[in-house]
């Protein structure tokens, strides 16, 4: 029997929705303010996962310009019925304070690779929507209900309403089928039918260290729902920080052989309870009791190693970590902030063999940043690029960035200073407080410059070298005479665990260009090399 290594999707991959269609398995995860919307993966063995094209790839489906940090796409749900794939998602416009503006939509496609339809608006009464297809051919929308009123439980229960697929609209009464358990913060509903019961799986306890997955069941779709007496079915052991933490938000799948698995989010703290990689996706084996309750095999705590199903092993099909930008399209792991890839700010053809970024807004903008990045999936990694960029003044910058959100990032950037001329320096934003840790930026010779970031858990060190320095054919960075710039930086603030307000994404590393004068000066990046170490 094979073993599944958790997390199966490392780095920022929260809120998994898992689906089987025949012998194919799919997982959809949240992307929040990162474009394109919804990360989608395929597997044949539940262990090796290949990224698919994102279903929300155009602004008509997902317009996130101005969306807040940790807004955008929350908790997608993937389902299949009547010969089509269906994807439900929320676009969150506000989340701080009493109100949450949460708009729920549905897109569909005949093939998982698309093309996906234009969105059908559903409702805005709460977030974490899902679509349940019953045995009689009917379909039902579920979502949590947000109650903003003073003195009320904001997580007011799980709404259920029939959805007419042919007419593409909700119909009939709204039923509040489950108000949750004493854990509270009841969200992320998914419905399943087995042995005459409807099983309602929800997330409770909040998405931090008290996160959990609970189960309730009923003989009738609209309830009442009986709570599993051993709830929570899945949670984490807070006293074992070397274990997977924040486990919850589960989604179930059955193999053709009758084996059951639960995909759920989790996190791995790096230091002081901070999870720099964000919330990740893991998989647990499930069993059913004689009286038809679901259990996680081995107990309620998640495991790093899980027995795999009796399926044919699939070799990994990952995209290369070294991108020379010679392809006519971007690799699927690349994402941008809030706006689609288009020639107003990004080009792979204007200078062949380069990624051209036209200078956009600042790192704190929620509108039009020119930033292209990929998830940080390892805590032991080197990342390198070569940059052609000749700024004319201090408002023009470009370089290599580790980015969490508009308040937290660390940036090795080329700019121009009145006395030094073209120069290299570091910008840090920690909880929204701007800093430049170097006393004086480093003057640069004319020509290209190589930039490198070396991460060892929470410690980051930046390096630079002349652009004509060449790595050896095996891509070993030691072949270049790298010069350190600045002291090692503690970047553990790039994490979900903000001291003031919980956040939901994860650390990205990538390339960006700013032109705060509005001239749109371009920066050309010749390559991007992501070199992971031995540990994730």
Select which of 57, 91, 187, 228 is catalytic: 187
Known active-site residue 342? no
**Cβ contact 250:263 at 8 Å:** yes
Place of tokens 């006393």: 439
Q: What is the pLDDT of residues 493-502, one digit of tens each?
A: 999 998 788 8
- Cα dihedral 238, 239, 244, 247 in deg (nearest 10): -20
Known active-site residue 15? yes
pLDDT higher than threshold 80 for residue 469: no
pTM equals: 0.96
| pLDDT at residue 476 in the model | 52
| pLDDT at residue 207 in the model | 93
pLDDT band per the 50, 70, 90 thresholds, residue 474: low
pLDDT higher than threshold 60 for residue 477: no
Closest CA to 528 of 330, 263, 296, 393: 330
pLDDT higher than threshold 60 for residue 535: no
Q: What is the pLDDT of residues 370-391, one digit of tens each?
A: 999 999 999 999 999 999 999 9
Please say whether the dihedral angle defined by the alpha carbons of residues 8, 9, 11 and 14, taken in this order, is positive or negative: negative
Q: What is the pLDDT of residues 194-220, one digit of tens each?
A: 999 999 999 999 999 999 999 999 999
Q: What is the pLDDT of residues 353-376, one digit of tens each?
A: 999 999 999 999 999 999 999 999
**Cβ contact 262:248 at 8 Å:** no
| pLDDT at residue 498 in the model | 80
Instruction: Please state which of the ranges 74-88, 96-110, 418-432, 468-482 shows the lowest mean pLDDT.
Output: 468-482
pLDDT higher than threshold 60 for residue 187: yes
Q: What is the pLDDT of residues 128-163, one digit of tens each?
A: 999 999 999 999 999 999 999 999 999 999 999 999
**Cβ contact 409:403 at 8 Å:** yes
Share the mean pLDDT of the chain: 95
Percent of the chain's residues with pLDDT above 70: 97
Q: What is the pLDDT of residues 27-67, one digit of tens each?
A: 999 999 999 999 999 999 999 999 999 999 999 999 999 99
Select which of 15, 57, 280, 458 is catalytic: 15
Mean pLDDT of all residues in 325-346? 97
| pLDDT at residue 473 in the model | 45
Mean pLDDT of all residues in 7-25? 98
pLDDT higher than threshold 90 for residue 521: yes
| pLDDT at residue 471 in the model | 52
pLDDT band per the 50, 70, 90 thresholds, residue 311: confident
Task: Return d(Cα 129, Cα 142) in angstroms, integer.
Answer: 5
In three-state secondary structure terms, 55 is: coil
Beta strands in 320-432 (DSSP E): 322-323, 335-337, 346-347, 355-358, 370-375, 380-388, 396-405, 408-417, 421-430
């Amino acid at each position: 029997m094979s073993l599944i290594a958790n997390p199966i999707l490392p780095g920022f991959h929260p809120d998994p929705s898992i689906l089987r269609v025949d012998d194919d398995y799919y997982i959809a995860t949240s992307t929040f303010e990162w474009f394109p919307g919804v990360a989608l993966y395929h597997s044949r063995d539940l262990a090796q996962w290949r990224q698919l094209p994102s279903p929300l790839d155009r602004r008509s489906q997902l317009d996130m310009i101005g969306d807040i940090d940790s807004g955008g796409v929350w908790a997608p749900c993937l389902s299949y019925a009547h010969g089509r794939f269906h994807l439900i998602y929320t676009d969150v416009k506000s989340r701080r304070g009493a109100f949450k503006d949460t708009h729920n939509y549905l897109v569909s496609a005949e093939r998982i690779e698309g093309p996906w339809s234009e969105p059908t608006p559903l409702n805005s009464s709460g977030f974490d929507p899902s679509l349940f297809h019953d045995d009689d051919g009917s379909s039902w929308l579920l979502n949590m209900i947000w109650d903003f009123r003073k003195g009320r439980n904001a997580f007011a229960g799980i709404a259920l309403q029939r959805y007419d697929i042919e007419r593409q609209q909700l119909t009939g009464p709204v039923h509040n089928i489950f108000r949750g358990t004493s854990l509270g913060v009841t969200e992320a509903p998914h419905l399943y039918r087995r042995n005459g019961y409807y099983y309602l799986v929800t997330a409770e306890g909040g998405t931090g260290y008290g996160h959990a997955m609970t189960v309730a069941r009923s003989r009738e779709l609209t309830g009442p729902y009986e709570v599993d007496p051993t709830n929570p079915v899945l949670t984490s052991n807070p006293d074992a920080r070397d274990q997977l933490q924040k486990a919850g938000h589960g989604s179930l799948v059955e193999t053709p052989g009758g084996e059951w698995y639960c995909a759920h989010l989790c996190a791995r703290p790096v230091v002081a309870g901070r999870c720099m990689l964000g919330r990740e996706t893991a998989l647990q084996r499930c069993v059913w009791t004689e009286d038809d309750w679901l259990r996680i095999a081995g107990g309620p705590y998640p495991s790093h190693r899980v027995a795999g199903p009796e399926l044919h092993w699939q070799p990994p099909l990952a995209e290369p970590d070294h991108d020379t930008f010679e392809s006519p399209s971007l690799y699927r792991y690349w994402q941008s902030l809030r706006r689609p890839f288009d020639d107003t700010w990004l080009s792979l053809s204007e200078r062949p063999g380069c990624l051209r970024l036209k200078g956009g807004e600042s790192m704190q903008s929620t509108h039009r940043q020119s930033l292209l990045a990929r998830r940080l999936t390892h805590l032991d990694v080197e990342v390198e690029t070569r940059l052609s960029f000749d700024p004319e003044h201090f408002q023009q910058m470009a370089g290599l960035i580790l980015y969490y959100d508009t308040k937290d990032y660390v940036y090795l950037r080329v700019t121009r200073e009145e006395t030094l001329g073209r120069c290299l320096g570091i910008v840090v934003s920690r909880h929204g407080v701007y800093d430049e840790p170097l006393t004086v930026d480093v003057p640069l010779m004319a020509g290209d410059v190589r930039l490198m970031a070396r991460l060892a858990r929470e410690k980051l060190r930046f390096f630079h070298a002349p652009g004509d320095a060449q790595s050896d054919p095996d891509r070993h960075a030691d072949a270049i005479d790298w010069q350190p710039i600045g002291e090692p930086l503690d970047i553990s603030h790039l994490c979900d665990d903000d001291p003031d307000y919980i956040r939901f994404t994860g650390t990205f590393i990538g390339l960006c260009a700013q032109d705060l004068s509005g001239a749109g000066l371009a920066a050309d990046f010749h390559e991007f090399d992501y070199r992971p170490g031995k540990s994730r």
